[in-house]
Chains A and B, each alone.
Chain A
Amino acid sequence: MDDADSPLQTLALVEFRVGDCRLAVEASSVVSLLEGPSHASHSSVSRLLGLPETSEVARRVLVILAGGKQRSVQVDGPVELRDVPVNSIYPLPELILSRMAINGARALVLMETVAIVVVDLSRLLVAAHSVGATQSGE
């Protein structure tokens, strides 16, 4: 059996929400999870992903390692660390990739009844900050 097909192999993911959408990011890119009021310096995960802003109140802040720097991004809770069997993780089908409106979508996790979209927040944060730096003349 191929290593990637072994049910014993797992990948650590941090699951979070944007409204009703269930999303996840590789745990290796998450430095810490903060709780507390929203702050203007935190990036909005909805804006990064291209999803509508939500009115969710259970905000959490993920600190993500992005391009060698720590960047904070505000997500909706609950936030959970999951060890996901590798055989539950799939690449996105081509038509989904071409039509899905979520920026940075990389993979799917199929649980019993739900699908979780794995996104690359690090890349999106690097891109967002490089655009911001260009616009502010940094």
Chain B
Amino acid sequence: MTPQAPIPGTVIFDGAQAMKGYALNKMCFSFNDAANRAAFVADEDGYCAQYGLNPQQREAIRARNVLQLIAAGGNAYYLAKFAGIFGLDMQDIGAQQTGLTKEQFQAKLLAARG
């Protein structure tokens, strides 16, 4: 298959990303369970260690930085469960990734009406 030009600002979650991010995504998947969310909040270091996060993943979690989490192999759907712990919604996450305030990000979405 011919390689396809990358889409700017976009990481395709393929096999390579899925392998790289497995531990991180597995931890985030565990946040479906309220008890696990509470355990993470109570002892973040211990919880991350339990899932075997690598240093890049651990740092991205510590920084609560979505672009870093994606670079470390995170998948948007599992990361959303991590964001949920802090009460962040998709517009908070969008704003953080685009370097905009939430209001600016919302305005950008409205502008798509044309």
Partners in one complex: no
